Amino acid sequence: MRARPPGLPGAPRVRLATLPTPLQAAPRLSAALGIEVWVKRDDLTGVGLGGNKARKLEFLLGDARAWGADAVVTGGGPGSNHVQITAAAAARLGLDCVLILYGDRPRPEPLNLRLARLAGAQVRFTGDHDRASVDAGIDSTVERLERNGRRPYRIGRGGATAVGCLGYVEAAFELEEQLAGAGLEPDTVVLATGSCGTQAGLALGAALTGASWRLCGVSVSRPVAECRERIRTLALGAANVLGVTATLTDIEVTDGIGPGYGRPSRAGQAAASLAARTEGLFLDPVFTAKAMAVLPAEAQAGSARGPVVFLHTGGTGGLSGPGQP
């Protein structure tokens, strides 16, 4: 394994997450699938309800602090894991948090939104059910705050920015260290891919470490071609932030959207049930469950020989009811 890339330890960062997250064997799930499976528990990052956004926020909010921000503005859907964790992290750092959510206020509100309010976040709805309406809402809110003499820091949906990706560049090094310690040489690392920042960071980190595993993203939000382009663009942006060069291999993304974004799939529900029954592992029905659903198919087809590492990116708030991250 190569040394950590120059610049990563020196990037502005605040320590929020409980790291490293565990890498756990899943023997009963492995027996059920007929393929060796390990789980990287990024649902246990320790900010809010946990999840992958905590790693990104360490660098995003580190950048915000270095810039002198007194507020953060971000957004997503009413059930977003990202907005819940951002609100919790902002509260820990004493920053105001404004959340822009698409659509209208749902009744009842999803757990993630209730927790964001509990953490003190201000919440505004765009009244438009197009997810892209959040971007314009964030921009206008930032402009309004600046006119009032504030210093707001803009975080795009899902924290999927070049700076946010640094959290998963770091995670790739962490994973390689854990694999070496366990004597594991995984064939494949599988994860849910939504706003694409997690896979982009891992792709860059894997290139920098010389990792031999195949990285397979399961799209739960966007068309596969759009994901591949976003992942490449974000990874190259993160490399530019770090001042490093890396050759990215083919970006692998498979379609796991099923009946639509934010809607559970039959295969995902079956996978979530299997994970819960065999390992007591709870998966978000519209994110991680859809990613887990590819494992039986890959095992049956021989596409993944094992061991396979499943990156559990969290989202347990989504288990409490409907909502789109």
Q: Tens digit of pLDDT for each residue in 149-184? A: 999 999 999 999 999 999 999 999 999 999 999 999
Same domain for 209 and 311?
Answer: yes
Residue-level pLDDT at 322: 46
Alpha carbons within 13 angstroms on the beta-carbon side of residue 131 total: 16
Residue-level pLDDT at 305: 79
Same domain for 289 and 142?
Answer: no
- What's the chain's length in residues? 325
Question: Does residue 12 contact residue 164 with C-beta atoms inside 8 Å?
Answer: no
Phi/psi of residue 254, each to 5°? Answer: -115, 155
Do the domain assignments include residue 15?
A: no
CATH number of the CATH domain containing 90: 3.40.50.1100
Same domain for 47 and 57?
Answer: no
Dist CA 22 CA 268 (whole Å): 24
The catalytic residue among 30, 80, 221, 265 is 80
Dist CA 6 CA 242 (whole Å): 7
Beta-bridge partner residues of 4: none
Dist CA 177 CA 254 (whole Å): 27
Same domain for 211 and 284?
Answer: yes
Beta-bridge partner residues of 100: 75, 124
pTM for this model (two decimals): 0.94
Q: How many domains does the chain have?
A: 2
Residues spanned by the domain of 225: 23-51+161-320
Residue-level pLDDT at 8: 65
Same domain for 143 and 290?
Answer: no
Same domain for 187 and 288?
Answer: yes
Residue-level pLDDT at 249: 80
Same domain for 303 and 221?
Answer: yes
* 101, 124, 158 - which closes a domain: 158
Same domain for 108 and 178?
Answer: no
The one-letter amino acid at 170: E
Residue-level pLDDT at 313: 97
Residue-level pLDDT at 325: 42
Q: Residue ranges of the chain with pLDDT lower than 50? A: 6-7, 322-325
Question: Does residue 99 contact residue 121 with C-beta atoms inside 8 Å?
Answer: yes
* 158, 183, 203 - which closes a domain: 158
Instruction: Answer yes or no: 80 catalytic.
Output: yes
Same domain for 71 and 46?
Answer: no
Residue-level pLDDT at 104: 97
Residue-level pLDDT at 3: 54
Do the domain assignments include residue 308?
A: yes
* Interval 21-75: pLDDT, tens: 999 999 999 999 999 999 999 999 999 999 999 999 999 999 999 999 999 999 9
Residue-level pLDDT at 323: 42
